[in-house]
Amino acid sequence: KRCIINSGVITELMDALRRGKIRIVYLTQPLHEGTPVIRLPEPFANDPGFKKQLLSRYDEKGPAWYWNWLIVGEHTGTHFDAPCHWVTGKDKASVDAVPPERLVGPAAVIDVREQVNNDPDYLLRLEEIQAWEKAHGQIPENSWVLMRTGWSQHGDDAERFLNVGADGRPHWPGFSEESAAFLTQQRSVLGVGTEAVGTDGASAADHVPPFPNHRIMHGAGKYGLTSLINLDQLPPLGALLIAAPLKIRGGSGSPSRVLALVPG
């Protein structure tokens, strides 16, 4: 019995981790009071961001223990968008209903840093996906498709991250209507992930109808990941991504620890 338990892929995985043949890369920003969150114009409600309130810290309220309680929006920092986040997915999964096997999948990383350097409002074009597929083969089943934009170089400073221009409007890159349509209709992805504050580019607010990536992805029951970091440490293909949102009953999303297993 013991031999059977100790043989197989999990043992091989543990051995590879121990020997450094697989590295674990954090794709997650720290949560703090300054964590950038999307800012919607009047009359829309806004995410409160993150606040940590002290319960006790080795003091009269708790002499041997330290703990806090939190105020945090579901869509704060590195976070997971569940299908019911969008009206097109309102009858689809809330964050607690996402099956665990759909939190884990291969990462297909599309490098568009040059395009984003030239245009912070860059939206992922079909030709970039096609170029990636020409180099690496068809996007695998149940992949997370990640946009490597270099946006995480802005750290988590809200002004730089949201990049409000002289026009008074934010500018950050994102997925497009055509990329969302292709990835939901022609490929079978888990969802998409980005380094910026939302999966749609900032300009998507002006799109008619607005936020096409949200509309199409969540309408198709797919997920989103935002404010990812360290995408420069992932190969274009070959990393395994693990997203771990809180299991909030009926929730629309959640701050998440996102990790990747990468060949060492």
Q: 85 an active-site residue?
A: yes
Q: Pick the closer one to Mn ion by CB: 78 or 176.
A: 78
Q: Pick the closer one to Mn ion by CB: 82 or 262.
A: 82
Residues that bind Mn ion (CB under 5 A): 75, 81
Nearest distance in Å: CB 226, Mn ion: 6
Nearest distance in Å: CB 175, Mn ion: 13
Q: Pick the closer one to Mn ion by CB: 163 or 227.
A: 227
Listed in sequence order, the residues at least 6 apart from 22 whose beta carbon sits closer than 8 Å to its beta carbon are: 13, 16, 261, 262, 263, 264
Residue number of the CB closest to Mn ion reads: 75
Nearest distance in Å: CB 166, Mn ion: 27
Q: Which one of the listed residues 75, 79, 85, 214 is annotated catalytic? A: 85
Nearest distance in Å: CB 47, Mn ion: 9
Q: Pick the closer one to Mn ion by CB: 81 or 111.
A: 81
DSSP result, the chain = -HHHHHSSHHHHHHHHHHTTSEEEEE-BPPP-TT-----PPTTS-----EEEEEEEEEETTEEEEEEEEEEE-TT-SSEEE-GGGSGGGTTS--GGGS-GGGSEEEEEEEE-HHHHHH-TT-B--HHHHHHHHHHH-SPPTTEEEEEE-SGGGGTT-HHHHHTB-TTS-B---BB-HHHHHHHHHTS-EEEEEESSSSSB-GGGGGSSSS-HHHHHHHHTT-EEEESB--GGGS-SS-EEEEEEE---TT-SEEEEEEEEEEE-
Listed in sequence order, the residues at least 6 apart from 112 whose beta carbon sits closer than 8 Å to its beta carbon are: 122, 124, 128, 147, 148, 149, 173
Q: Pick the closer one to Mn ion by CB: 105 or 253.
A: 253
Nearest distance in Å: CB 79, Mn ion: 6
Nearest distance in Å: CB 222, Mn ion: 13
- What Cα–Cα distance (Å) separates residue 185 from each residue in 117, 189, 220? 29, 10, 9
Q: Pick the closer one to Mn ion by CB: 228 or 261.
A: 228
Active site residues: 85
